[in-house]
Amino acid sequence: MMRLLAIAVAAVALLSGCKEEQTYAEQKKAEYRAISSFLSNGTTVLDRELGDTILHVAPINPISESKFYEQDSTTDVSRNEYVLFTGTGIYMQIVRKGVGSKLQHGETARLLCRYKEYNIMGDSLQTRNDNAYYISMLDEMNVSNTYGTLTGTFIQGMMKLNYKSVNVPEGWLVPLRFINIGRQFEADEEIAKVRLIVPHSTGQSDAVNRVYPCFYEITYQRSR
């Protein structure tokens, strides 16, 4: 009797595991469809009270990594180009490479970021710190480059507050291979700015757990 019970429990566990795996596969397919639709259609998000546009993304022109490197690691913003990193599924547009210099091998730097986060499977901004209301909530993080491997830890800010994690998502670190990090001292200088499509697998903790992709617009600058 006990043996039959054990077999039954094992069978239920096996079926449950298969069901969970299938559900995750379906979630990933839904994510893929959402990203494909976003690439084709873009989005516009309005302030529901004021009617102002707070985010506009035009249909996106994806380019390959090889073309990206041929263009000196740049994306043509006038054509709304985003490079697709096939290994991660991340799409990136470099709006500005910024002043300063790249994070060097063996270097650790403290960075300040302002951003918008849009859940691609939703219809509104999910979190942000780029407006006057959150002027004191800069996202501050320590980032290290160890022989080309980038790691980061949030010190404070909206990402840490909202997602209860100090780990900087991989999607936020990828641009640091290509942009400069510095500070604006002259009127004609500008800090780095990128736009990203980040799949759940390289996103923040809630995206990982619930399987959804996010669009980000982020600026990076070196802290004092």
Give the tens place of pLDDT for each residue, 27-37: 999 999 999 99
Q: Does 11 reside within a domain?
A: no
Is the pLDDT at 206 greater than 70? The verdict is yes
Q: Are strands 81-85 and 192-198 parallel, antiparallel or unpaired?
A: unpaired
- Check if the beta carbon of residue 180 is closer than 8 Å to that of residue 166: no
Is this structure's pTM higher than 0.75? Answer: yes
- What 3 state SS string does 184-199 have? CCCCCCCCEEEEEEEC
- Check if the beta carbon of residue 79 is closer than 8 Å to that of residue 68: no
Question: Can you give the residue range of the structural domain that contains 157?
Answer: 61-222
Q: Does 79 reside within a domain?
A: yes
Q: Decide: helix, strand or coil at residue 183.
A: coil
Q: What percentage of residues in the chain have a pLDDT greater than 70?
A: 89
Is the pLDDT at 20 greater than 60? The verdict is no
Angle at 187 between CA 183 and CA 114, to 5 degrees: 45
Q: Are strands 61-63 and 81-85 parallel, antiparallel or unpaired?
A: parallel
Nearest to 114 by CA among 100, 127, 126, 129: 129
The secondary structure element, H or E, covering residue 68 is helix 65-70
What is the sign, positive or negative, of the torsion defined by CA atoms of 152, 104, 62, 113?
positive
Q: Does 20 reside within a domain?
A: no
Q: What percentage of residues in the chain have a pLDDT greater than 90?
A: 79
Is the pLDDT at 202 greater than 80? The verdict is yes
Give the tens place of pLDDT for each residue, 141-160: 999 999 989 999 999 999 99
How many domains does the chain contain in total?
1
Backbone torsions φ then ψ of 130, nearest 5 degrees: -100, 5
How does residue 50 score in pLDDT terms, banded at 50, 70 and 90?
confident
Q: Does 172 reside within a domain?
A: yes
Report CA dihedral (194, 219, 126, 121) to the nearest 10 degrees.
Answer: 10
Taking the C-alpha atoms of residue 57 and residue 99, their distance in angstroms, rounded to an integer, is 25
Taking the C-alpha atoms of residue 129 and residue 151, their distance in angstroms, rounded to an integer, is 22
CATH classification of the domain holding 214: 3.10.50.40
Q: Does 210 reside within a domain?
A: yes
Q: Does 93 reside within a domain?
A: yes
Within 13 Å of residue 207, how many CA atoms lie on the same side as its CB?
Answer: 27
Q: Does 167 reside within a domain?
A: yes
